[in-house]
A and B are shown apart, each in its own frame.
Chain A
Amino acid sequence: MADKKQILITCKEATLLVCKKQEKAISLKEKIQLKAHLLVCRVCQLFNIQSALLHQHLKKINNENYDSKVLQLDETQKAALQLQIDTESEK
């Protein structure tokens, strides 16, 4: 028996379910709640579409695609570190 109160959810709950759906951590009941909410709420529909797009994009790029050479140690720092390692390994 479907309980009306159980089908209606708030925008906060709906957007949380959008996040769960992306990780396939959504139950059947939640799926129905989300579908029903998205039918009537244009704002959450937008959130759903946009965050799906971002999710796909984030999944596609891995850390190598980010700015991975932002920082560089200068030669003095490197020499000091190497010296530290050399001293440690002789212990």
Chain B
Amino acid sequence: MLKLESKNMLNPKNWITLYADYLLNFAYFRLRDRALAEDLMQDTFISALKSQHTYNGTANEKTWLTAILKNKIIDYYRSKLGKQSKITDSIDNNTNNDYFNEETSFHWFEKKQPQDWNNPEKTIENSEFNTTLADCMKKMPEKLAAVFTLKYIDDEATETICKEVGITSSNYWVMMHRAKLQLRECLEKNWFRK
């Protein structure tokens, strides 16, 4: 009996007060769309109610609810990424985002070449840097952001990411490569050489 009491319990009466803002921000940070984040947060509570019987008390309530939300976010990512057979063509068609001359020199386009950064090791530790970083991540195309978020925010293994969102590893590398080229460029413009 004592054992039972020490287990975590679900208490839906308190869910909104305790977790609504947390889950909303968790989703917003990963999806960058408030309406969508609100929908998924709401769905999370409804799904959680329906699957209360599966809760065994090993994880605490917050962790359990977050895991449900996380699955919903991954479902959303997969719906955006998985059915795409030619991911590389659809990432962005903006020729402004071409970095390399693939016809003659095979080198970087001159205006796209990385420039020297002033004292980057030091300025990267400035707390405002993370705000610029978050802004630059917001500018990433949705599909790139999905993969990048799973890697760097959720710290997942590459294999897991590919399986979860339904992409091949070569697609993963194409997307990660492009994400990093864009992020580096954005940070250079908005932070390191501002």
Residues of A near any B CB (own CB < 8 A): 10-12, 15-16, 19-20, 23, 25, 43-44, 46-47, 50-51, 53-54, 57-59, 61-63, 65-73, 78, 81-82, 84-86, 88-89
Asked whether, in the complex, the Cβ of B49 is within 8 Å of the Cβ of A69, the reply is no
Residues of B near any A CB (own CB < 8 A): 12-13, 15-17, 20-21, 24-26, 28-29, 34, 37, 42, 45-46, 49, 99-100, 102, 106-108, 113-117, 120-121, 124, 130-131, 133-134, 152-155, 158, 173-174, 176-177, 180-181, 183-184, 187-188
Q: How far is the CA of A62 from the CA of B154 in the complex (A)?
A: 8
Residue in chain B with minimal CB distance to A73: B20
Chain A interface, >50% SS class: helix
A77 to chain B, nearest CB (A): 8
Chain B interface, >50% SS class: helix
Asked whether, in the complex, the Cβ of B34 is within 8 Å of the Cβ of A67, the reply is no
Given A71-B25, A89-B12, decide whether A12 and B20 contact each other with a Cβ distance below 8 A. no
Q: Which residues of B contact A85 (CB under 8 A)?
A: 12, 15-16, 45-46, 49
Q: Which residues of B contact A78 (CB under 8 A)?
A: 16-17, 20
Asked whether, in the complex, the Cβ of B21 is within 8 Å of the Cβ of A50, the reply is no
B52 to chain A, nearest CB (A): 8
Asked whether, in the complex, the Cβ of A11 is within 8 Å of the Cβ of B184, the reply is no
Asked whether, in the complex, the Cβ of A63 is within 8 Å of the Cβ of B29, the reply is yes
